[in-house]
Amino acid sequence: MARRSATRLQLSGHRFLLRRMAHALVRGDVRMLDDPLRAQAVAYGAGCALTAVAIAVCAVLALLRPGSVPGDAPILLARDTGALFVRVDDTVHPVSDLASARLIVGTPANPVVVNAAAIAKFRRGPLVGIPGAPAQLGQPLSLDESDWTICDGTEPAETVLLAGRADRGMVALGTGHALLVSARTMGGATYLLADGWRARVDLRDIAVVRALHLEGVSVQLVSQALLDSVPEAPALRAPSIVGVGNPGPAALGGLAVGTVVRVVRAGPAEFYVVLTDGLQRVGRVAADVIRFSVAQSHGEPPLVPADVVADVPVADRLAVPRFPERVVPRVPAVVCANWDPRRRGSATNTSVVMADSLPDQGVRLAQADGTGPNVDRVVIPGGRSVLLQAAGVTRDGIDGGPLYLLNDLGVLFGLRDGATAETLGLGTDPVPAPWPMLAMLPRGPELNREAASVTRDAMTGAGAVPA
């Protein structure tokens, strides 16, 4: 059976019924003495049409007259050439970079794009700006986005600084574990990296080598910058015991000073060393170091009952280095030191981390020297920067250091004070950063208003007349 199409009158009646039902739902009245819903729809449509017309008119005006200078815009950008200008009273000066322009005008203003005709309306002044200042100022990283990690790879030899959160592929060195490393420099010292500290170790010290099982462990060559980024602990050597071989406290049954004894408790056994004035508790590795360095009268540490130990004074005057429990026999391809500025409650902000490979992002610096002392590559999130405050690597050296700007090209710029940072649009909350990780970065000029305001005939020369 053929389908019959609706007539125009039927469609009109259908639409009327739909409007009437909507009217009844909204207003609770089906009489439809007036139709405010239709009036609202008409008003909405008319408003959209007028808005579209206004936008079109503004676009046409912008194309026809793009050269008008907004009121008091202090920094101008030429549309045709990309040249940057700064307004000083009724004079425009070519300026070398955005950082210098903001320093001169004293506000973190952004450039306003104009054409050459608008710039020609002003008097022209000589060139101003700081040679080498950053052309762009990226949004600074916040404290929550910031970590500092310096890494050394072996194939090829490269030192990389990462500013920002550490790569998820990095694995922290386990508690009590250590890596055997040495500085790349000729005759560099050998260290163990463990638990956020480094301790010098002499591989000619047989007692330490045997106690830590260092025979056959490969030494990883790392940069001095990485070593300096890890706080140094006392060197790992056998403690010097006064009166070795003399009789110890009488309660110990004639055990000689320097003897390592073992005390069995409810938990794991504990080790003590006999001193002239009592017993001092030592760790397992320290006990082995003492046994390898001091002649012992027993093949195994003598077992001393706990009740006997309770009657012997406890000593603590023997300086015992902090020995790691285990040295990792195979050093990974990449060794890193991570410094977390948010870690406020611990003794050190540094941790030792490892990875299979270096990240491939970032900027390779012109100063790159491979096995040399310089940082070879810097990784910062693209288009970002860091307002930082230099600090020491230990907890007591975090506050009060000088301010710097690190841009995404890996160049470090000194800042005179916090007001300068605010003028540059970097904010007022610097992120702490360990100076040893920054010391080998390329240095740019100090950023300050006086240097930015110096007039120049060419960027290679300098005048002495302030703008």
Quote the percentage of the chain above a pLDDT of 70: 90
> Which helix H or strand E contains 9, and what residues bound it?
helix 8-27
Question: What does the pLDDT look like over 389-442, one tens digit per residue?
Answer: 998 887 655 667 899 999 999 999 999 999 999 999 999 999 999 999 999 999
Parallel, antiparallel, or unpaired: how do β-strands 197-201 and 232-236 relate?
Answer: parallel
Residue 12's pLDDT is what? 77
pLDDT value of residue 352 = 92
Residue 210: predicted pLDDT: 93
Cβ-based neighbour number of residue 190 at 10 Å: 14
Checking if the pLDDT of 2 tops 60, the result is: no
CA distance 106 to 29: 64
68-105 residues labelled b (16+ CB within 10 A) or e (exposed): ebeeebbbbbbeeeeebbbbbeeebbbbbbbbbbbbbb
Task: Average the pLDDT over 234-260 and give the result.
Answer: 87
> pLDDT tens-digit profile of 431-455?
999 999 999 999 999 999 999 999 8
What pLDDT was estimated at residue 467?
47
Amino acid at 209: V
Where residue 4 falls among pLDDT bands split at 50, 70, 90? low
CA angle 20, 26, 28 (to 5 degrees): 75
Is-contact 131 445, C-beta < 8 A? yes
Question: 18 CB contacts (<8 Å, ≥6 apart)?
Answer: none
> Does pLDDT of 68 surpass 50?
yes
113 pLDDT above the threshold of 60: yes
DSSP H or E segment with residue 350: strand 350-355
Average pLDDT estimate for 73-86: 88
Q: Which two tokens stand for residue 403?
A: 């301010």
Supply the pLDDT for residue 462.
Answer: 42
Contacts (Cβ under 8 Å, ≥6 apart) of 445: 130, 131, 132, 133, 413, 414, 451
pLDDT tops 80 at residue 312? yes
Please name the residues in contact with 437: beta carbons below 8 A apart, sequence gap of 6 or more. Answer: 148, 150, 161, 225, 229, 337, 339
Instruction: Kindly report the average pLDDT of the chain as a whole number.
Output: 85
From the number of C-beta atoms within 10 Å of its C-beta (0-12, 13-18, 19+), residue 460 rates as: exposed
pLDDT digits (tens, 9 = 90+) for 318-340: 899 999 999 988 778 899 999 98
For residues 162-169, average pLDDT: 79
Give the total residue count for the chain.
Answer: 467
The SS3 call for residue 58 is helix
Task: Please list the residues that pair with 81 across neighbouring strands.
Answer: none
Residue 399's pLDDT is 66
Task: Give the SS3 label for residue 101.
Answer: helix
Q: What is the pLDDT of residue 289?
A: 93
Between the two ends of the chain, the Cα-to-Cα distance in Å is: 92
Mean pLDDT of all residues in 44-54: 85
For residue 291, give the nearest of 208, 214, 215, 201 by alpha carbon.
Answer: 208
